[in-house]
Each structure stands twice: as C-alpha cells, then as structure tokens.
Amino acid sequence: MPTFDRGFAAGRGPGHGDPGFFGAPSSGGGNGSGNGNGKDEGFQGFATPARARTRGESWQRWQMDSLDPRDALKKALEAQLPVEPPPPPAIDFEALDAMRDGARKEGYAQGYNQGQTQGYGDGHREGYARGLESARNEAARLQQLAANFRDALGRVDNDISNALIGLALDVARQLVRKTMELDPAALLPAARELLAAEPPLSGAPCLLLNPDDVTLVETHLRGELEAAGWTLRADPTIARGGCIASAASGEMDASLSTRWERVVKALGRNDPWEPPHA
C-alpha cells in the first residue's frame, strides 16, 4: 500500500520496476512505457469530465443510468404510449349558479324595461282613447243635463210665475173687496164709464145697482143721469161695487165679476172672481 502511494504520487507507471496497479505487472513495452511511445507517462488518476457551466447554473449530482435492458424497454414502451389527457377542471357550481342568476336577473330587467316601455306606450294610447271617449260621453251627459236643467228652469219659472200671478190675483181680489167695503164710492168711476160709453145705449137706458149702492150713486151722479136720460134701479143679484147698464139697444156689464174676468184674461189666466175656497 505504501508502494502504491509513492508510485501514484511520482507518476511512475508499472514499467519502472514497481508492481502494477493493484500489485500486477505492467503489460507495457520493453521500455516500460505505459502508452507504447517510449515515454514514461506514469499513472494518472480518474477525473470527472469537465463540462461548461453557464452563469447561474448550479451543480447537479451525476447518477449513472441503469444498465438493465428491461428498464430501457420500459422507458421505450412508456414513450410510445398515448399521453392521457389531463383531467377535466373541477366545475364550480356556485359560479355557474351565480352566472345563471345574473343572466336571469339581467334578462328579467331587460324584459321588464322593454315591457314597461311598450306597456307605457300602449297604455298611454289606450288611456288617451278611453279618456277621449269618456270625455265625449261626459260632455254629452252634461249637455243633456243642461237641457234638462233649462227645461226644469223653464218649468220652475212658469210655475213660479203662475204662483206669483195667482198670489197677486188673490191679493187684488181681497183688496177690491176690502175697498168696496171701506169706500163704496169706488163704484162711481165704473158707473161714469157706462154713461160715457160709445155708442151710447138707447131705448130707456137704466143703471142696475146693488140696493146698498143706489143712494150713493144717486147722490153723486144725479145730474149726469138726468142729462143722459138714465134711471136707477136696484137689483139684489148684483154684488155691491158693480153695476149693469141695460137698454132696448143692448146691455153693458160693469159688475165686479165681469171686470175681474177681463183682467185675468189679459194676464192669460182664468181665475174666477169667487175663488174655490171662498
């Protein structure tokens, strides 16, 4: 062992009289050269082949490949086998649900907006048509109400007018009667009208009076009666305050009932002098 160390250190080969590698004689030439070229190279130890290293490349441990032919065959078969496709990615059901909900909400919103816009337009047109039709119907109804109100107002006016006229006639009737009671001389204007009537009566004209009015008329119209050739005669059928001129040529009625009828006929009515409730 010490002899191997010195020979390895000096670089001498086995041709220098030292025992060969592991004590075996050298198989070199007669000159003991290890390479057969007459030079003594000596023994050199095993060194790992150097390889170029790039900057930043780290050292890697060298490992000898397997010399078993079965391993080489296994690698060749594995290289020829088809590559299995990668497993499908995992399905994110929550993301799919969220996307489906989002699409549903978006579709609902779009459909709602579109339906709202279309519905608003259709509703506006339909509402306008209905409103116009309702306005026309309401206008026709108001016109009918106005016509009915006008007719009713006319009837009310007529009723009120008739009622007022009837009331006025009742008042006038009472006033005439009261006047005749308080002032019998109110008969005189009617008697004078008969005396001055044209054409004058002929053929013994006579003035018929209520017995209570004969003295009054004779006192105030004596001269006029004598000048016209008239006479006075009492008639109980004639109401006080009235008189009747009678002659061969005709008759003129100035009684209260007759004069009353003339007045009410001028007013377009037919209220009798003696009212039904009297």
Segment 48-88, tens digit of pLDDT = 555 555 554 556 676 666 667 777 777 777 776 666 666 77
Q: What is the largest CA-CA distance in the chain?
A: 224
The pTM assigned to this predicted structure is 0.44
Q: How many CA atoms lie within 13 A of 54 on its CB side?
A: 1
pLDDT band at 131 (very low <50, low <70, confident <90, very high): confident
Residue type for position 83: V
DSSP E strand boundaries for 70-169? none
Residue type for position 216: L
Peptide bond into 184 cis (omega under 30): no
The pLDDT, as a whole number, for residue 244 is 92
**Structural tokens at position 47:** 């060194």
Instruction: Report which DSSP code applies to 209.
Output: E
The pLDDT, as a whole number, for residue 85 is 67
Find out whether 240 and 213 touch, Cβ atoms under 8 Å: yes
Find out whether 256 and 180 touch, Cβ atoms under 8 Å: yes
The pLDDT, as a whole number, for residue 211 is 92
Of 146, 134, 235, 219, the closest CA to residue 185 belongs to 219
Residue 20 has pLDDT above 60, yes or no: no
Residues 15-47 as b/e (b if ≥16 CB within 10 A, e otherwise) read bbebebeeeeebebeeebbbeeeeebebbeeee
Give the pLDDT confidence of 227-243 residue by residue, as tens digits: 888 999 999 999 888 89
Instruction: Report which DSSP code applies to 186.
Output: G
* H helix and E strand count, the chain: 6, 4
Q: Torsions phi, psi of 252, nearest 5?
A: -125, 125
Please name the residue that has the structure tokens 């050739």: 229
Residue type for position 161: S
Q: Work out whether strand 231-234 and strand 206-209 pair parallel, antiparallel, or are unpaired.
A: parallel
Residues 6+ apart with CB under 8 A from 191: 207, 209, 217, 221, 243, 254
